[in-house]
Structure 1
Amino acid sequence: MTTNLNGIDVSALQAVAQEVAATTEPAKRSARFNVKTKWENQTRSVATVSRYSIRGEEYKRHFEIAADEPLEFLGQNTAPNPQELLMAALNACLSVGYAVNAAAMGITIHSLEIETDGELDLRGVLGLDESVNPGYDEVSYVVRLHTDGSREQVEELHRTVTKTSVNYANFSKAIRMVPKLEVVEG
């Protein structure tokens, strides 16, 4: 098997997996991500990613992610809205899962596209009916995947990705939220 498949260094992937499996130190088997979002005006906000930690080490970086609502929902349509970013995050996480797991399985990906769709009931979003969920009741997605793997290998790849994808897990089961409000005076 080649050491680099789908742009993934398979040897490095295996080494990291072995190190994480062998450690008894909780910090050495975890990753933590942080995003700070500032409201700019109207429905626009900008999130900044400035750091993350993985396996007990903190790393600096800088990315900005803008969000806005469409004109029809009182925004200026200057960026994707939070729901589109949420779906993009799911799709990106699944894409990583397919690329990495396919590489580990020796499968070359020729093309991969994921399309996600969900519908919200605006009565819940606008607080008009408290019996209506403000979030999604169902989200559907289609994976369009062309590989050199057999049908059985691709089905196993799909099962592995849906079992190990962080954002698939985040979408499919509840996350315990820990809110804290800090009121800034004056």
Structure 2
Amino acid sequence: MDRIELASFMDGLRETVSKATPEQCLEPMSGTVTQVRGFQSIARFGDVETLVDEPTVFGGTGTAPNPAEIALAGLGASIQVTMLCYAAHLSIDATDIVVKLAGALDARGFFDMSPDVPVGFYEVTADVTYKGSASEAQVAQLLDYVNRCCPVLAVFRQPMQVKLSMRQVP
């Protein structure tokens, strides 16, 4: 889809959402992550499968990204999609977007060794590069939209309730 087609597509979606009820605006998502062997698992969402593993230093086979890397990949892809969509909507020339992500997990948090050490990332950096002729003002506008409208960025930034349950099966 080129920028013109994406802009038209986005305008159509915005029009549909503007007339929809809150319930009609929800985009339900669900999937299953199944252990294959050891720390290796397969995540299935719809017809798409993704392998997840741990590095060998943590007991995995190192054949796929680990869960934290998958989370970072989701963040990077969501930033990229949000930027592409808003660039098209606002007629801003920004293409070939690359999002370089970095973060660190402290193993002391995972092993519950200190209440002062977080279990997850302390911070994540996302460095976005792109090609195009966007002005400084347009880049600032695009960054503002990404900061306000990127759904996975919101997942990283905003606390939410996760209902975790566990049950034994035969």
TM-score normalised per structure 1: 0.85
In 2, the alpha carbon distance for the partners of 1:135 and 1:149 equals: 35
Does residue 21 (structure 1) correspond to residue 18 (structure 2)? The answer is yes
Partner residue of 1:108 out of 93, 104, 108: 93
Residue type matched to 2:11 in 1? Q
Does residue 42 (structure 1) correspond to residue 38 (structure 2)? The answer is yes
In 2, the alpha carbon distance for the partners of 1:100 and 1:84 equals: 24
- Cα deviation, residue 26, structure 1: 2.8
Name the structure 1 match of 2:50. Answer: 65
- Cα deviation, residue 111, structure 1: 2.6
Superposition RMSD on alpha carbons, in Å? 1.7
In 1, the alpha carbon distance for the partners of 2:97 and 2:2 equals: 18
- Cα deviation, residue 109, structure 1: 2.1
Residue type matched to 1:12 in 2? F
- Cα deviation, residue 134, structure 1: 1.1
Any idea what the Cα deviations from partners look like across 1:56-104, whole Å, max 9, x if unmatched? xxxxxx0101111111111111111111111000000000011100000
- Structure 1 runs (4+) greater than 6 angstroms displaced: none
Q: For 2:105, what is the secondary structure of its paired residue? A: coil
Is contact 2:101–2:126 with CA below 8 Å preserved after alignment? Answer: yes
Name the structure 1 match of 2:130. Answer: 145
In 2, the alpha carbon distance for the partners of 1:38 and 1:93 equals: 24
In 1, the alpha carbon distance for the partners of 2:125 and 2:3 equals: 29
Partner residue of 2:144 out of 159, 162, 167: 159
Q: Give unmatched runs, 5+ long, in structure 1.
A: 51-61
Is contact 1:110–1:148 with CA below 8 Å preserved after alignment? Answer: no
- Cα deviation, residue 129, structure 1: 2.7
In 2, the alpha carbon distance for the partners of 1:117 and 1:175 equals: 23
Bigger mean CA deviation after superposition, 86-95 or 121-130: 121-130
Partner residue of 1:168 out of 144, 153, 159: 153
Q: Percent identity?
A: 25
User: What is the aligned length?
Assistant: 170
Partner residue of 2:120 out of 121, 135, 155: 135
Name the structure 2 match of 1:12. Answer: 9
Q: For 1:145, what is the secondary structure of its paired residue? A: strand
In 1, the alpha carbon distance for the partners of 2:24 and 2:44 equals: 25
Name the structure 2 match of 1:125. Answer: 110
Q: Evaluate the alpha carbon distance shift between residue 9 and residue 142 of structure 1 in structure 2; reply closer, same or farther with a 3 A threshold.
A: closer
Residue type matched to 2:127 in 1? V
TM-score normalised per structure 2: 0.93
Q: For 1:31, what is the secondary structure of its paired residue? A: coil
